[in-house]
Structure 1
Amino acid sequence: MVVMGHVTAPFGVRGWIKVKPYTETLDSLLDYPVWWLGKEGNWREYTVLEADVHSKGLVASLEGCASREASEILQGSQIALPRAQLPEAEENEYYWSDLIGRSVVNVQGDILGQVSELLETGASDVLVVKGDRERLIPFVKSVILEVDLAKDLIKVDWAADY
């Protein structure tokens, strides 16, 4: 399963939810008629009845979620899709879920920590690396030298004292 967003809040009184997508474009999740919602791998399948872009996110109506109380229970849930349903990433492109948990080492051989999450900023995506302290490392070509998924490693041009 690849986490593609999360439920931020109920929307209205008829069971709709607000969704913060982690996708490159806001409407990418709308291409999938079934979402899996849950936390920490405990997934439940939901058919999307209606969904649309709303403000800086999405709103959606899910089968079996017909009241505000039902949508409140889903608040905070992750939204995931099976990896097999997603297109292959292009060369030198990665799904965020492929980067989370990877070890980060710099050119001097210092282990900086592990990627705990990614942030989307206007200029570039940013790796949040937790080790002896938290570091914010921009995910740009000049800094990210190598991503080796097989070795579970990201090599960066980033000094330990940054």
Structure 2
Amino acid sequence: MAVSSQETVIGRITSVYGVKGWVKVFSYTDPIEGILNYPNWTLVQDGKRVPIQLEQGRRHGPGIVVQLKGVSDREVARGYCGADIVVPTDVMPELPAGEYYWHQLEGLVVETVEGECLGKVHHLIETGSNDVLVVQATVDAIDQRERLIPYLPDQVVREIDLASGKMVVDWDPEF
């Protein structure tokens, strides 16, 4: 997927909905309806980028359904299924101090409070109790293990420095 560092994926078109060109969307925003606050999307699929506007959308059961501007045919809509929905990061709301978007955490080098490098944050997983950092080993890491570290600020995550690209965790490397 060709997404620049100034963009982030906020959802994915999963399937068609109805016969008038609507599609179902899996939203990565919290709350899931937040995806409807971004009217200008770039759809990224198979290396192709298509700018498109959101015509209308709404909550439908546990998900979201939307109509894209200029799309009124089910078969045309089907062509967008599987596309990631990308927006520029500068259109996202400013977060309070100490809060971060997932895309800001991805790619940070993770070190223990003792200074041991565990690797880089590859992605995060949402669980029922707390989010989990998936840390993949790098050449500088103490070993080549992938680690799942709970994202618990002030408990496990002690420091995040976006400017230096580093996160410090209170985590036993053997765990």
TM-score (norm 1): 0.88
Q: State whether structure 2 residue 143 is matched by structure 1 residue 137.
A: no
Per-residue deviation, 1:64: 3.1
Distance 1:24 1:154 in 2: 23
Q: Which protein shows a greater Rg?
A: 2
User: Aligned pair in 2 of structure 1 residues 111, 38: CA closer, same or farther (>3 Å)?
Assistant: same
CA-CA distance at 1:76 after TM superposition: 2.3
Instruction: Give the structure-2-normalised TM-score.
Output: 0.82
Q: Given that residues 26 and 56 in structure 1 are in contact (C-alpha distance below 8 angstroms), is that contact kept between their aligned partners in structure 2?
A: no
CA gap of 1:50–1:103, structure 2 versus 1, over 3 A, is same
Q: Which amino acid aligns with 1:50?
A: Q
Aligned length: 162
Structure 1: runs of 5+ lacking an equivalent:
none
Percent of aligned positions with the same letter in both sequences?
A: 40
In structure 2, the partner of 1:73 is 79
**Where in structure 1 do 4 or more consecutive aligned residues deviate above 6 Å?**
none
Q: Residues of 2 paired with 1:42 and 1:62: CA distance?
A: 17
Structure 1 counterpart SS, 2:132: strand
- 1:73-127 Cα offsets, whole Å, 9 max, x none, are 2222221222222221211111111111222111232222221211112211111
For residues 146 and 19 of structure 2, the distance between their equivalents in structure 1, rounded to whole angstroms, comes to 40
Name the structure 2 match of 1:158. 171
Q: CA RMSD in A?
A: 2.0
Once the two structures are TM-superposed, the CA of residue 41 in structure 1 deviates from its matched residue by 8.1
In the alignment, the residues of structure 2 paired with residue 133 and residue 18 of structure 1 have an alpha-carbon distance, to the nearest angstrom, of 37
Equivalent-residue separation in structure 2 for 1:59 and 1:10 (angstroms): 9
In structure 2, stretches of 5+ residues that fail to align are: 1-6, 138-143
Query: SS of the residue aligned with 2:79?
Result: helix
